[in-house]
Amino acid sequence: MSRVGKKPIIIPAGVKADLKEKKLLIAGPKGELSFEVPEKINIEIKEDKILFSPNFEAEGRKLTPGQKKKINALWGLARNLTANLIQGVVKGYEKALEFEGLGYKVQAEKGGLVLYVGFSHALRVDKIPGIDFSVEKNVIRIAGIDKQLVGQTASKIRKLRIPDAYKGKGIRYFGEILKKKAGKKATTTTK
């Protein structure tokens, strides 16, 4: 039994949840998101709660323990993804990246981001629907209502200039601690 999947999700005020066949639609003050519920998971909307339950019934055959384990995992996953959708339409999500290096700078434009991070040319990140960029000093902020899209965008920007293991130059998550390597040491030979 999934401990996470058992917990009901309480729908906050100002949020609407609709179920059409196996598609869950969540609408709130910040926008609208949808989620395709897996076929082995049952979902019910009662009053101001969303309830999930597994469907262990098979087509005339007994399920193996591995199949039951997979259904339990999907049960918890479906519940957590739905909770993320509700938080996204109410509060939204934000990731922060910081960049460090001599001459490094980033500019936010209406078409996306322009990054000058040590290459001979500027790197461009195009505007993504549902994602807002902002830059202040050496911090890039990525905000949106879809948790997966915000995290994926932050990861793509970080991969443009992964932090150097020796000097720490590059783009990293805000607050990320880098373990720097020791460089080569000059040795003296004695005769």
Q: Which residue's structure tokens are 């720097």?
A: 180
pLDDT tens across the length of the chain (191 residues): 678 888 999 999 999 999 998 899 999 999 999 999 998 899 999 989 999 998 887 665 788 888 888 988 999 999 999 999 999 999 999 999 999 999 999 999 888 999 999 999 999 999 999 999 999 999 999 999 999 999 999 999 999 999 998 888 999 999 988 888 888 877 777 76
Instruction: Please say whether the structural domain 3-90 has been given the CATH code 3.40.50.970.
Output: no
What is the pTM for the complete model shown? 0.84
CB 26 within 8 A of CB 89: yes
Handedness of CA 177, 179, 184, 186 (dihedral sign): positive
Write out the residue limits of the CATH 3.90.930.12 domain(s) in the chain: 3-90, 93-173
CATH of 93-173, one of 3.20.20.10, 3.90.930.12, 3.40.50.300, 1.10.620.20: 3.90.930.12
Helix, strand, coil distribution of the chain in percent, nearest 5: 25, 35, 40
Give, to the nearest 10 degrees, the angle between helix 147-159 and helix 65-90: 90
Q: What does the pLDDT look like over 18-30, one tens digit per residue?
A: 999 889 999 999 9
